[in-house]
Amino acid sequence: MDKKSILAPFKGWKYLFKKPVTVAMDDIFKNPRESQDNYRGFHINDWAKCIGCGTCSEVCPTNAITMVERSDVADEEGSKPERPVIDYGRCCFCALCVDICTSGSLSLTKEYLLNSSDPEDFYYMPTEKGITGKPIKLGYVKDETSDLLDLERKHMEHVGEDERKGSFIEIVRGFSKEQAIAEASRCVACEICTKTCPAHMNIPEYIRSVWNDNLSEGVDYLYKTNPLPSVCGRICTHKCEGACAISQRGDAVAIRWLKRYIVDNVPDDEYEKVVLSQVSKKGDGKVAIVGSGSAGLSAAYYLSTLGYEVDVYERKAQAGGPMRYGAPKYRLPDDITNRDISFIEKLGVKIHTNTDVGKDITMDKLKSTHDAVFIATGYPDTRPLNIPGVDNKDVIMAMPFLADSADFERGSAKMPEIKEKVVVIGSGNVAFDVARTLVRLQNMKYGKSDVMMAALENRQQIPADIEEIEEGTEEGIKFNLACGPQKIVVDEKTGNVKGVEVCECTQLFDENHRFNPQFDFDARQVLEADQVYLAIGQMPDFTYIPDEVQSQMQIERGKIKTNKNGQVAGVPWLFAGGDIIKGMDIINGVANGHDAAIGIDEYLRKNKKKS
């Protein structure tokens, strides 16, 4: 062995005179080394952002995260009053919870040292402060690359504006199977939508059915809370999507289109089997329902699944209320409404059309032949506008016009008298229905359209759905916003409408967010038009209710006071639902109808015991 190799190892002795790389134990506690920027340390959770969706707990590979309900967190729409608790005895600091957090509230810090003799200290509900209470240095945070959610909604095919504006063809084409499954896979099943939906539909469950391609299971879930899924799959106001956890940072899951996908893709015979299988028991009694809108039909369906005999009275020629006579066919084709109603009829519900309660049959008569009466007559009349000139024949109310147009669209009436240049006053969904129907009728009649919408609201305040505004604009609707109509300008000689005089609306809500429009009366202009359509809201019609019954009821601002199951205060045999007790919304109606069915069932069973 040569000398060189004997001495070789001793070259390492030079490190005796260099600074040691080891860290003294004392330093570990007194001057702990700061971890790197990306460090996956203990959690922090921004409670202002956290919506309690529990997706962190869902993804956690070690089951370290539990969602705990907090009484000090407000139970608001779009969130749950829950916050994650982390068991550091289980946590492996993988940060998948951070990567999947819907709101982006969870992050990890650079903190890695925590000493405690109490094991409970390691069972920790993160806040903005961090576990050690020392100043926070952020460690691992989510970025676009690490995100585990799919924030982009699958594209829904729409009929192009050139094709659709001259006809009443349905605009939305619906998802294919691949698209629907892909869209359903974006859901994190947090159930915030269920909480928000007035009917509390089992949304995550039926989305899961789509994802698993088990559509008859999906139908089963739909009918548990909503007997009008085909209709709601098209024209529901989808409050659920507004609350969707994914919408915190991306596009909400297309819940409405997925519902539509289920009902559109289950064959009729299989569908029928599922729907009719929901009948549970034989109730004993007869219930009359006035009005065949969503609330009436929903109550009829659930009452008959309980075994009650149900008569529905509808003054128009066809059942469906606003589904039939309000929603234009480009949004809700007739055969869709037919389908939902046909299943309700198959359960044995008798629908008496062309029967106007109050005229053809009295309420007293209904009361004497039935054990309970449910009224759901909606808001059928358009709210009038008190300005000079509105009594002209070319000033037309929205609701009758939509009904006439609906009859024309289904071929049972001739086209309503429409003119070449029109103004629609209002900017809600009904106003858009009117305006977009007019665009179609004008294109059919004149080959071009000239529709102007005038409203008090400015662009940001428009109450209609965003897609109405976008699609309406595509179809060529013009807007004159933030203006208040002052009078209808009428040609004195001919008596024809020449236009609407408007002045600028400078403020819509006051500082207390109350509706309090202010105008600049000097900024006037005349919007030229041959016809003016009014769509500034609807109102109820209670004339069919006898005075002595009405005197026992409490009606405030067009709403009847009821208990939570729709039982009218002061009149125990009478139940009410839909627009006349709450909101103006198809899904509210469905929910009220379901609640009323429960209420009526309880009421009738109680009565039976007594007798």
Partner 1 sequence: MKEIKLFLGPQHPGMHGNASVHMYVEGDIIKRSYLLPGMLHRGFEKSMERRTWMNNIALIPRICVPEPDTNEMVYAMNIEALAKIKVPERAHWIRMIILELARLSAHLMAFGGIGGPTGLYTAMYWAQADRDRILTIFEEITGHRVYHMYIVAGGVRKDLPKGIENKILDFLNDLESRLPEYEDLVLNNPTVRARTVDNILLPAEVVWELGVTGIGMRSATGQEYDIRKVAPYARYEKVDFKVPTATYSDAQTRMTLKYQEMYQSINIIKQAIDMMPGGKVRAKVADGSALRWRVPAGQVYSAVEASRGEYGYYTVSDGNTMPYRVAVRGASFPQGLLGVEKYMPGHRIDDAPLWFDTMGICSPEIDR
Please, which residue, 257 or 544, has the CB nearer to partner 1? 257
Among 65, 86, 172, 188, binds partner 1 (CB under 8 A): 188
Q: How many CB atoms lie within 10 A of CB 268?
A: 10
Please, which residue, 38 or 473, has the CB nearer to partner 1? 38
Q: How many residues contact partner 1, by CB under 8 A?
A: 46
Contact (CB, 8 A) for 304 and 375? no
Q: How far is the CB of 264 from partner 1 (least distance, A)?
A: 20
Q: Is 182 in the site for partner 1 (CB under 8 A)?
A: yes
Residue whose entry in the numeric block shows the structure tokens 């103004």: 423
Q: Is 75 in the site for partner 1 (CB under 8 A)?
A: no
Q: Is 432 in the site for partner 1 (CB under 8 A)?
A: no
Tokens of 76: 């608001």
Tokens of 500: 């609407």
Q: Is 136 in the site for partner 1 (CB under 8 A)?
A: no
- The total number of residues shown for the chain amounts to 611
What does the alpha-carbon distance between residue 278 and residue 221 come to, in Å, rounded to a whole number? Answer: 11
Specify the pairing of strand 286-290 against strand 372-375: parallel
Tokens of 44: 């922090």
What does the alpha-carbon distance between residue 491 and residue 449 come to, in Å, rounded to a whole number? Answer: 23
Among 85, 113, 138, 148, binds partner 1 (CB under 8 A): 148
Q: Is 362 in the site for partner 1 (CB under 8 A)?
A: no
Q: Is 99 in the site for partner 1 (CB under 8 A)?
A: yes
SS3 106: strand
Nearest to 382 by CA among 489, 533, 496: 533
Residues 191-250 that bind partner 1 (CB under 8 A): 211
Stretch that binds partner 1, among 3-11, 215-223, 309-317, 334-342 (CB under 8 A): 3-11
Among 55, 377, 427, 437, binds partner 1 (CB under 8 A): 55
Q: Is 95 in the site for partner 1 (CB under 8 A)?
A: yes
Q: Is 139 in the site for partner 1 (CB under 8 A)?
A: yes
Contact (CB, 8 A) for 169 and 163? yes
Binding mask 6-45 for partner 1 (x = CB under 8 A): x-xx-xx--------xx------------xxxxxx-----
Work out the end-to-end distance of the chain between its first and last CA atoms, rounded to an integer number of angstroms.
116
What does the alpha-carbon distance between residue 44 and residue 103 come to, in Å, rounded to a whole number? Answer: 13
Please, which residue, 22 or 512, has the CB nearer to partner 1? 22
Among 46, 47, 49, 58, binds partner 1 (CB under 8 A): 58
Q: Which residues are CB-neighbours of 450 under 8 A, at least 6 positions away?
A: 420, 421, 422, 442, 478
Please, which residue, 20 or 411, has the CB nearer to partner 1? 20
Q: How far is the CB of 155 from partner 1 (least distance, A)?
A: 13
Element spanning 562, H or E: none
Q: Strands, DSSP E only, in 37-178?
A: 43-45, 65-69, 82-87, 106-108, 123-124
Q: How far is the CB of 73 from partner 1 (least distance, A)?
A: 24
What does the alpha-carbon distance between residue 124 and residue 195 come to, in Å, rounded to a whole number? Answer: 27
Please, which residue, 102 or 202, has the CB nearer to partner 1? 102
Residues that bind partner 1 (CB under 8 A): 1, 4-6, 8-9, 11-12, 21-22, 35-40, 55, 58-59, 61-62, 92-96, 99-100, 108, 139-140, 143, 145-146, 148-150, 181-182, 184-189, 211
